[in-house]
Structure 1
């Protein structure tokens, strides 16, 4: 078993209301040298919170988080940092429409399988 950390990506279409929809998961394991994200934006759930939400822009923002994990070459300067630094940067609190939730820890034999499990359980 190896330790891992994860955070759920939340979409908060109207920040003043503090309502959110889970839209992705980031998983990091220092020991496994693993950092990856999986996302899914449910447009219907998003529009239930804000009928005027710009879904395309929100999807692009969520996908940018995933790209910072999954394709560091496309992530600009932050993509050149170590995966632990990228995870910490991605999970730092923000007051924007896409916000990371709290960081949680666990043990797993397979971080990639854990990413899939967490996406199914917490997002889909």
Structure 2
């Protein structure tokens, strides 16, 4: 029996000017149902974002990324989602929205360590 389990992930993208369609990857969401695990790892490359939009609201983007991390963490930081299980919090976070911080499409993989996978994906796709 394998110790690897299915996980799902989605990139968090910052889209400063929707009409231009440009974006910067700023984080990754990882969910593993078997482990009841959900996390967000973020990294905002401010210089890259400002290259796309010199007037970008950096403080607002950082706050939105922290809010996503809070929802994943659960507890009081999750606000209304505090009582939801990890899967419901993940599904809520990947729902399409028209804000500056948007989730990308969901992908799947296998992992024995979802937390380590989140770090690997952050390094591979964001940093």
In the superposition, the TM-score normalised over structure 1's length comes to 0.96
**Residues 73 and 80 of structure 1 are in contact (CA less than 8 Å); yes or no, is this contact kept in structure 2?**
no
RMSD: 0.9
2:73 and 2:123 map into 1 onto residues whose CA distance is 18
The count of residues paired between Structure 1 and Structure 2 equals: 124
1:101 and 1:66 map into 2 onto residues whose CA distance is 16
Displacement after TM superposition at 1:56 (Å):
1.1
1:39 and 1:70 map into 2 onto residues whose CA distance is 13
Counterpart for residue 16 of structure 2: 13
Counterpart for residue 91 of structure 1: 94
1:34 and 1:61 map into 2 onto residues whose CA distance is 21
2:75 and 2:49 map into 1 onto residues whose CA distance is 28
Please give the residue correspondences for 1:1-124 in structure 2 after superposition, counting only pairs within 5 Å.
1-124=4-127
Displacement after TM superposition at 1:75 (Å):
1.6
Structure 1: which 4+ aligned runs deviate by more than 6 Å? none
Unaligned runs of 5+ in 1: none
Unaligned runs of 5+ in 2: none
